[in-house]
Amino acid sequence: MVAKRRAPQAKRKPRKAGKPARHARSSPAPAKVLALRADLDHANARIEQLRRLGDELARRAQDGEHAKTTVARLSQELQNRTLRMEQQLAVARQFQRLFMPPALPAFPQVRFAVKYQPSPRVGGDLYDVCDMGNSCVGFLVADAAGNGLSATLITAIAKIAFDTFRQNEYSPKVILEKMNLHIVRNTLEDQFLTAFLGILDLETLRLKFANASHTCPILYGPKRFELLDTEGLCCGMFEEARCEEKEIQLRAGDHLLLYTRGLVRMCNARNQAYPERRLHKLLKANRTLEIGAMVEQVAEDFSRHLAGAEQAEDLTLVGVEVAPREVREERIVIPSEPMQLSRVESLVLSRLEALNYGERALFAVRLGLEEAIINAIKHGNHMDKAKHVTVTFSVDREECVVSVEDEGPGFDPGAVPDPTSDENLELPHGRGLVLMRAYMDEVSFNAKGNRVTMRKKAPWAR
């Protein structure tokens, strides 16, 4: 077998420098196609991005319309709620005016002054001054928790309860305890108020008072300054709340200032409350100022402290002033006849009875009058009917003052023997002087010795 001979291969020509080799097939895409594809992919991505942005804008536009509708609805709701609140506040203000006394009662023995500044929010302040009969006047100051209709409701219930339970009752303790029970049973758990109630006897000037956790009223005068406080819980908290009752003697020229917590709780722009020590200093510096002017001065000083800040609570000031003493002197002149004694006694003792001095005081004054007038007729004028005895007297809520003067030469009271000593027991002189000094609070003579002056204090002024 003869082997096949391969055909001789043509010799490859050498590759010229700079020319790439040519292939029979081209598998990769041309560069332009690749570039176009890249541009197309980028455009598609951009289109997708724009589409998503369009969808977002459309969604936002839809949300914007919804938000606009929501805002409009909320705005209308807020407007309606504000309107309802204003209507409620208007109703609350009307109720407040209904339960405030239209005018303060007038009494010759005592004066009242009130300064009431309601808050725009309508607080729960309540005050009342009323003639309770039987020569007594009552004054109530209360402060309900909260504001608006809720506070007005509590004050309304308290005012009705006070008007009901003060009938024929003269104990602040009893009245406040009955008010407390009524409020507990007719309000919600968190509705309560503080209260101060004073009842003043206009004839004796004895003040009975009870304080149910209220700000302490201030009693001040020419020679006194004290706070009126007692033990007691707020009205409306517990059914079994008990109040402590105290009693104090007022005198001519005394003043009382009652106020609600707004005075010492409201703050100015620097968040500072009105200091109680500032109030006390103001009252002490103006002890003799008329009560109406004093109330206005306190309100003005508080306004200066507030300095334009919002009044967040009601402000109530109630002032009480015992009228300055007006001594009315009376005179009666009688001839030197013992039977004229009854004229003087009936005149003087009727004044004491009108002021309820009591039997003990009447007996003492009657005894003093008898001894002084009989001595003036017998020892001063020596029973001379041409000579007279002058009796001058004044009677008020503090004391009875009687002077008896004869037309004789007078005598030296210090030279009268003491009839109580053993050696003078049988002597007829000096016993009348001893009796006058024993039953009257003070006995004095003029320099001549022909006029004796006797003083008897009222039983409640001792």
Tell me the average confidence (pLDDT) per consecutive run of 10 residues in the chain, 462 residues long. Answer: 49 51 52 73 79 77 72 67 59 64 86 89 84 93 82 86 92 96 88 94 90 96 92 90 91 93 90 94 94 95 89 91 82 93 92 89 94 92 93 90 94 74 54 87 93 92 74
Q: Provide the pLDDT for residue 307.
A: 87
First-last CA distance in the chain: 171
In this structure, what are the phi and psi dihedrals at residue 221, rounded to the nearest 5 degrees? -160, -170
- Which residues make Cβ contacts (< 8 Å) with residue 243, sequence separation at least 6? 172, 173, 176, 177, 180, 210, 211, 212, 230, 231, 232
In this structure, what are the phi and psi dihedrals at residue 267, rounded to the nearest 5 degrees? -110, 155
Q: Which CATH architecture has domain 100-322?
A: 4-Layer Sandwich (3.60)
What dihedral angle (degrees, nearest 10) is formed by the CA atoms of 377, 378, 383, 385? 0
- For the chain, how big is the Rg over CA atoms in Å? 49
Q: Where are the domains of the chain?
A: 40-95, 100-322, 330-461
Q: Provide the pLDDT for residue 37.
A: 75
Long-range contacts of 94-101 (CB under 8 A, 24+ apart): 95/152, 95/155, 95/156, 96/122, 96/152, 96/155, 99/126, 99/155, 99/156, 99/159, 100/126, 100/127, 100/128, 101/127, 101/128, 101/129, 101/130
Element (H, E) at 149: helix 148-165
Element (H, E) at 115: strand 110-117
Crossing angle of the two packed helices 148-165 and 172-186, in degrees rounded to 10: 140
Determine contact, residues 175/169, Cβ cutoff 8 Å. Answer: yes
Q: CATH classification of 330-461, choosing from 3.40.1160.10, 3.30.565.10, 1.10.1040.10, 3.40.630.10?
A: 3.30.565.10
Find, among 269, 268, 271, 296, the residue nearest to 282 by Cα: 296
Q: Provide the pLDDT for residue 429.
A: 60
Position 286: which residue type?
A: N
Q: Provide the pLDDT for residue 425.
A: 46
Residues pairing with 372 in the sheet: none
Q: Provide the pLDDT for residue 53.
A: 78
